[in-house]
Structure 1
Amino acid sequence: MVSIGGLQWLDYVQAGPRRAMTMVTTQKKTYLDPGPGAPAYYGPLHAGFRRALNSVDPAAELDRVVGRAVASNLGKAKVYRQAADGFLRLLPRGATGIKVAESAWSEAELQVRMHQMLGVRLLTGEQLLVAPYCKEPVLDQESADVLLYLMESQVEHMLPEATPVVFDTRRGRRFKLHHRANRRQLDAFARGMAVGYVRQWELAA
Structure 2
Amino acid sequence: MPAAKRMRMARSRRCSPRRILACGAFAVAASSVAALHVVRPDLAPVSRRLSEYANGPYSDLMLIAFTATGFGLLLLGRTVRREAAPWSTAASSLLIGAGLGMAVSGAFKTDPAGLGTRAEVVHSAASGLATFAIITAAGLRSVTPFLNRSGARRDVTAGALGMVSIGLGALSRPLHHTPWTGLSQRLLWLALMAWLLRTAWTVEALPRHPTGRPDGSARR
Q: TM-score range by the shorter chain?
A: under 0.3
For normalisation by structure 1, the TM-score amounts to: 0.27
Point out the structure with the larger strand share: 1
Q: What is the TM-score normalised by the length of structure 2?
A: 0.26
Larger helix fraction of residues: 2
